[in-house]
Every structure is written in structure tokens, then in C-alpha cells.
Amino acid sequence: MNELTKLPAESKPGWVSPMLATLSDSAFSRTRWLFEPKFDGVRCLALRSGHDIQLLSRNQKRLNDKYPELVDAFRAQRPDAFAVDGEIVTFEGAVTSFAKLQQRMQLARPSEEVRRRIPVWFYAFDLLHLDGKNIRHLPLRERKALLEKVLDFRDPLRFTEHRETSGEPYFQEACRKGWEGIIAKDGDSVYASGRSADWLKFKCLNEQEFVVGGYTDPKGSRTSFGALLVGFYEAGELKFAGKVGTGYDTATLRSLHSRLSKLETKSPPFARNDLPRRDVHWVAPKLVAQIAFGEWTRDGKLRQPRFLGMRDDKEAKDVVREK
């Protein structure tokens, strides 16, 4: 392709730390900006070099065995070398569901029956490398145009459609449909690893990762445990954000309790004194949970929190309060 000849050569596609969106509390409409759906799934970088396919999570964990149908779909593509950024999702009705995706995420090698019952799709939204060329310094709109042109999008691979300029009505539509939100991206921006103001996220629902630092004993007919005690890091300290007691099914309670019991410690990992003390078990802050919630209280606690699932694609030390 003529437009690639002047771009920097890159021997083969390799790991690139993902570009991350910054949370914003006000949707806008703006020329030159592109607006995409915000998916409730797992971020993934798909790398191809000849016959070799690598699906990597945002903390570089290999996902090939979890999603073999995606490996096959990328291997069937025409380009011999590429790096594609996207999101692995499944659906509950017409809405992507992280909670449902948990049933695939927890399996090292899902059976054909599980793959039929919980199908996944890869929504591609960026192209970082193509046939020996580093294209990360092309404007986003050009990268997306190349992406749509060079890959054959048929299930389970899908191109992430976008709208231009009109972000506010798109955000309102997304919230009416029950989406998590939308992502706003500067169409002229280059791909830069890390958190960026060139990519912004507008959320219809409050949801983020939290570190698990303890759990409470079950009460009544509840089994395994009652609630998770969660927090986030701030200035190197783990801040307590409250208890999360809803959103679990029986299988999750049992499997998560098994993991938690192996991490128990005598002292709390949280850096504050006003912690619950009765019927509490403290754990080493190793596990990360995805939590939905109504809002933050004035003292930094979660109101109406609900467990969505566990994440293994983000390190606990990297979990902070999104602002």
C-alpha cells in the first residue's frame, strides 16, 4: 500500500502497552472527534507474525487457550503481520456483559459446549502494525480506515463502528440502550501507550476495578462468605472503599472463597482505622474485582456496590480511583 511506504519499518509486531482512556464526567460534541461504544469486556492485543498468533491481555497474559475461535479467525486473515487492538466481549441480549464473560474467563480451555453456550466476539478498534510497518503515528482516523480495509470482518471478528462529531446524542442513546457508555477519541491523535486525554470515556454506569483486602463471614442461608472488603491505591496506600455483598451466585461464592482462604493474613492491608472488625478475614491484596456502584459517598465509600466478576488482566498495585 502506497500510504505505508514512508512509515517506520518494524521487523515484526510486538507487545505495545495499551492506550487508555481518561474518565470524563461530561459528554460533548466536537469536530474531528470519533465516538465509539464502550464495551464491557476484556481488552486484548492480537498479534500475528506469519503462522504465529498471540492474544495478549493488557498485562500481557496469553489468552489463546481461552479463546481458540479468535485465534482461528485471526489466522484466517490475509495480512501476514499485524497488531490489532480491541475488546473481547459476550452479550446478554443486546448488551455486552462482563458478568457473563466471567464464565469463559475462568476456564483455561473451554469445551466446545461452553464455547457454543457463551460465544465471544472480538471488536477491533485500532491497528498498530501492518506488514512490517509501525503505523502508530498515523492519525487515528487513518489507522481505523486501514483496519477496516485490510481485515475480513466476519464473526467472531467485528469492526468497531464510530460516529463523528455528535458525541452528546450518541451518549444519550447509549445510556437508553443500557450500554456502559461511550469512548471519545481525537481523530487526529497518534497511538500513545498509557492514560491519555486524547481518549476519553463517558460512563452511563459507575463501574471500575477494586482490590480485594478481606471478606466477612456469611450470615443466614448464605454460604462461603458474606461480603468482600475492597479498596484502591492512593499515594502508595490501600484505601478502604467499603463492603460488596451482592452480585454473587453460589458457584462464585464457593470458588472465590477457596481463593481468598489461601491469601488470609492476620492484619488488614488497608491504611485506615475505621475498618469493620467483627467476623472479618483479611487477605493479602492480590485479587482484583470488577464492581458496579451507584455513587461515591463524601467519605470515599461506595454506595450500592454490586460484584460483577474477577479480573486477572490488571495488577492490584495499578488499581486507583478513577477520577
Residue tagged 470515556 (cell numbers): 201
**133: annotated active-site residue:** no
Q: Is the pTM of this model over 0.85?
A: yes
pLDDT per residue as tens, the chain (323 positions):
556 777 889 989 999 999 999 999 889 999 999 999 999 999 999 999 999 999 999 999 999 999 999 999 999 999 999 999 999 999 999 999 999 999 999 999 999 999 999 999 999 999 999 999 999 999 999 999 999 999 999 999 999 999 999 999 999 999 999 999 999 999 999 999 999 999 999 999 899 999 999 999 999 989 999 999 999 999 999 999 999 999 999 999 999 999 999 999 999 999 977 899 899 999 999 999 999 999 999 999 999 999 999 999 999 999 999 98
Shared domain check, 252 and 197: no
Calculate ∠ Cα 178-184-188, nearest 5°: 155
| Separation of alpha carbons 311 and 291, rounded Å | 10
CB 254 within 8 A of CB 223: yes
> Which residues span the domain enclosing 267?
206-318
Shared domain check, 226 and 169: no
pLDDT score for 2: 56
Given 203, 226, 248, the domain boundary residue is 203
Shared domain check, 181 and 237: no
CATH number of the domain residue 249 falls in = 2.40.50.140
pLDDT score for 13: 96
The CA distances from residue 301 to 239, 256, 297, 304, in Å, are: 10, 23, 5, 10
What is the secondary structure of 22-74 as a DSSP string? EE-SS----TTEEEEE--SSEEEEEEEETTEEEEE-TT--B-TTT-HHHHHHH
Domain-located, residue 237: yes
Identified catalytic residue from 6, 38, 66, 239: 38
Q: How far apart are the first and last CA of the chain?
A: 42
Closest CA to 46 of 17, 104, 85, 87: 85
Given 203, 222, 249, the domain boundary residue is 203
User: Structural domain tally of the chain?
Assistant: 2
CATH number of the domain residue 131 falls in = 3.30.470.30
Residue tagged 479480573 (cell numbers): 311
What pairs with residue 216 in β-bridges?
A: 280
The CA distances from residue 103 to 54, 119, 254, 286, in Å, are: 22, 11, 14, 21
Shared domain check, 184 and 243: no
Shared domain check, 296 and 240: yes
What is the 8-class DSSP label of residue 3?
G
Given 182, 203, 224, the domain boundary residue is 203
Residue tagged 472465590 (cell numbers): 256
pLDDT score for 1: 54
What is the 8-class DSSP label of residue 300?
S
Domain-located, residue 193: yes
Shared domain check, 112 and 33: yes
Domain-located, residue 2: no
Shared domain check, 197 and 268: no
| Separation of alpha carbons 287 and 272, rounded Å | 20
